[in-house]
A and B are shown apart, each in its own frame.
Chain A
Amino acid sequence: EAGVVQSPRYKIIEKKQPVAFWCNPISGHNTLYWYRQNLGQGPELLIRYENEEAVDDSQLPKDRFSAERLKGVDSTLKIQPAELGDSAVYLCASSSRRDRETYEQYFGPGTRLTVT
């Protein structure tokens, strides 16, 4: 079974430029998460989707960040314009309602963003 796929793996941009990250969750996983992980810290949830609906986006800085999950499968996270403080690893994860006990989240390899 293929895992969570993310691209690009690395991105370097200048501040004020836009950037987009793409995520393809595990097939059949209805829940998709975007996390931001700063160096030496744990992941912090940005937004959670149940199918195509964003059910928790309270931590998403809506002035510059946006996300979408059209058709309830792939998702895109966008930052426009990027700031120096946005440098981090952006992780995508997915989980399935079929795994009812744990709702274990499976993580992708992440996109390491560097804003210069």
Chain B
Amino acid sequence: GQNIDQPTEMTATEGAIVQINCTYQTSGFNGLFWYQQHAGEAPTFLSYNVLDGLEEKGRFSSFLSRSKGYSYLLLKELQMKDSASYLCAVRDGNAGNMLTFGGGTRLMVKP
């Protein structure tokens, strides 16, 4: 089985930087995904990490440490539209590459 933990809620100010952490335990790690989900909408893909290190994509970056079972999503220059839930998901190579999602972190960006 898998256990994925991330904070339930976070609040940050427009223009600031926020880091959303995710810790996981899995027997067959085969990649970690971050998805963004606005209220009432579908999750949309943000990033993918399978090797240790930082992946940067515009204002968003994602970091992975496989030895620590740890990832974070870094959002820079926050905008009001970044208010959403951010879902951490781990793929298990021992379970047909099934994705298991964390509960999501609801980020509120304030002016």
Interface bin, chain A = 20 to 34
Q: A101–B55 Cα gap in the complex (Å)?
A: 15
A108: which B residues are within 8 A, CB to CB? 42
Contact at B45–A106, with CB atoms within 8 Å? yes
Identify B101's interface contact among A43, A101, A102, CB under 8 A: A43
- In the complex, the answer to whether B43 meets A107 with C-beta atoms within 8 Å is yes
| Majority-rule SS of B interface residues | strand
Complex-state Cα separation, A42 to B98, whole angstroms? 14
Cα-based distance from A103 to B93 in the complex (angstroms):
12
A-B contact count (CB 8 A): 51
Q: Are A91 and B96 in contact (CB under 8 A)?
A: no
Could you tell me the dominant secondary structure of chain A's interface residues? Answer: loop
CB proximity of B41 to chain A, nearest CB, Å: 6
Determine whether B103 belongs to the interface, using a CB cutoff of 8 Å to chain A: yes
Given contacts A104-B48, A107-B44, A108-B42, contact A48 B104 (CB under 8 A): no
Q: A102-B31, A109-B42 are in contact. Are A41 and B103 (CB under 8 A)?
A: yes
Q: Which residues of A contact B (CB under 8 A)?
A: 4, 40-45, 48, 55-56, 91, 101-110, 112
